[in-house]
């Protein structure tokens, strides 16, 4: 599907306004038609000529400019998406209370399309009860408010309040536009996971032989992170259990870092009781060394002793056996065919053995599955359904998984 044409980029008066230039570049280079609507205070950080040059469109801040074109109404009416980045505490308050004292806030009131806010402010302002109430109000009306990143702010301050990476904001916007453009309406167009808490595991566990060596696998964590970013874009609260992943944290996700299968089990079981869904996308080691040496195993003239292995706990089966009513458990199975059957034969057997609600089965090999930006899979359901997802971006597969999870919540079945 070609990109939806009309995007309004609102920019407010925060030090992070300069980062919106990068966000604008990503939109324009991807073929979107972008109009920048800054606030007057935003122009103290980045001037109007910069926005006009980057967008190729004139820039206004006041409803009095070009009155004959009724911009305070027309801009919002013609938008397919409005994104405000950075969104200050002042802008969030105005939007939550329906104030309209400049062109941007008028645009927000007249927009009937997906709206995304990317807040940036000092930690104390973000955590203030008034800001949190305003954010809750905006989310209740269907807006996507991306939680700010944690990091260095202005001066020596550090904490939650940093503008998320422009690429993450862009991807969240693309997900909103894609779903809206596929014919979905209302909450189905974007925030169908709002109010839900999901737990996702990602990456590959490491089982140490000694302080230097470990048994591991090729998982990059991209599929698990795609599940996290798409869930966030659809309004969910996300806990991401990350095993040895080198990707940037998805803005707004609570990230719990683990190393081994035992670490991952403890983290997932701690988070699962309060979750509406648990998606086990991590490649968890089936076995670990029976003995892990405290010092490096030295290379000698004699052959080393064989490495004895013991079985790790089956976290997916454990989750399936202890899930509460209404909770959806999703597993991933990286499979190869062999003399015992093809990929789907092994996948169906694993679904029955694990007892989960959904099992995402993908064939892996030297040029597929691991360490790639794309993926193909078949989503098997415990009710006998099979959904063949063709090769495409891992975000597309992630959205299909969430579609299945949301349907199970909707009909109350497992």
Active-site residue set: 217
146, 231, 270, 376, 396 from 390: Cα distances, Å: 29, 20, 34, 5, 9
Query: Which residues does 338 contact at the CB level (< 8 Å), separation at least 6?
Result: 346
- Angle among Cα 185, 189, 195 to the nearest 5 degrees reads 120
Q: What is the DSSP letter of 159?
A: E
Q: Are 281 and 296 in contact (CB under 8 A)?
A: no
> Residue 97: phi, psi to the nearest 5?
-105, 5
Q: What is the DSSP letter of 44?
A: G
Largest alpha-carbon pair distance within the chain?
88
Q: How many CB atoms lie within 10 A of CB 406?
A: 18
What is the full DSSP assignment across 214-278?
A: EE-----SHHHHHHHHHHHHTT-EEEEEEES--SPPPTT-EEEEE-SHHHHHHHHHHHGGG-SEE
């Amino acid at each position: 599907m070609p990109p939806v044409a009309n995007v309004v980029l609102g920019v407010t008066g925060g030090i992070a306004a300069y980062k919106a230039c990068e966000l604008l570049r990503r939109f324009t280079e991807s073929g979107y038609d972008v109009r920048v609507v800054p606030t007057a205070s935003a122009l103290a950080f980045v001037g109007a000529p910069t926005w006009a040059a980057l967008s190729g469109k004139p820039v206004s801040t006041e409803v009095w400019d070009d009155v004959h074109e009724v911009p305070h109404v027309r801009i919002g009416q013609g938008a397919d998406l409005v994104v405000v980045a950075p969104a200050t505490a002042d802008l969030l308050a105005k939007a939550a209370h329906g104030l309209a004292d400049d062109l941007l806030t008028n645009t927000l009131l007249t927009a009937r399309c997906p709206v995304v806010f990317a807040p940036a402010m000092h930690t104390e302002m973000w955590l203030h009860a008034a800001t949190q109430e305003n954010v809750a109000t905006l989310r209740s009306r269907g807006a996507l408010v991306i939680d700010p990143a944690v990091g260095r702010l202005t001066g020596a301050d550090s904490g939650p309040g940093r503008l998320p990476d422009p690429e993450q904001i862009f991807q969240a916007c693309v997900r909103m536009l894609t779903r809206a453009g596929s014919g979905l309406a209302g909450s189905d167009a974007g925030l169908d996971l709002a109010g839900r808490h999901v737990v996702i595991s990602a990456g590959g566990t490491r089982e140490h032989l000694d302080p230097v060596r470990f048994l591991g696998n090729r998982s990059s964590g991209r599929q698990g992170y795609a599940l996290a970013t798409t869930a966030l874009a659809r309004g969910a609260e996300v806990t991401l259990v990350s095993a040895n992943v080198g990707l940037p944290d998805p803005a707004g996700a609570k990230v719990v870092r683990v190393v081994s299968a035992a670490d991952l089990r403890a983290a997932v079981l701690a988070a699962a009781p309060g979750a509406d869904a648990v998606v086990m996308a991590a490649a968890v080691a089936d076995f670990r060394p029976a003995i892990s040496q405290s010092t490096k195993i030295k290379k000698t003239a004699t052959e080393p002793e064989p490495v004895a292995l013991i079985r790790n706990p089956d976290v997916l089966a454990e989750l399936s056996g202890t899930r509460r009513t209404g909770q959806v458990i999703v597993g991933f199975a990286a499979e190869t065919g062999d003399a015992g059957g093809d990929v789907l034969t092994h996948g169906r057997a694993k679904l029955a053995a694990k007892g989960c609600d959904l099992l995402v089965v993908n064939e892996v090999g030297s040029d597929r599955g691991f360490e790639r930006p794309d993926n193909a899979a078949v989503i098997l359901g415990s009710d006998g359904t099979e959904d063949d997802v063709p090769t495409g971006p891992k975000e597309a597969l992630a959205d299909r998984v969430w579609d299945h999870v949301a349907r199970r919540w909707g009909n109350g079945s497992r």
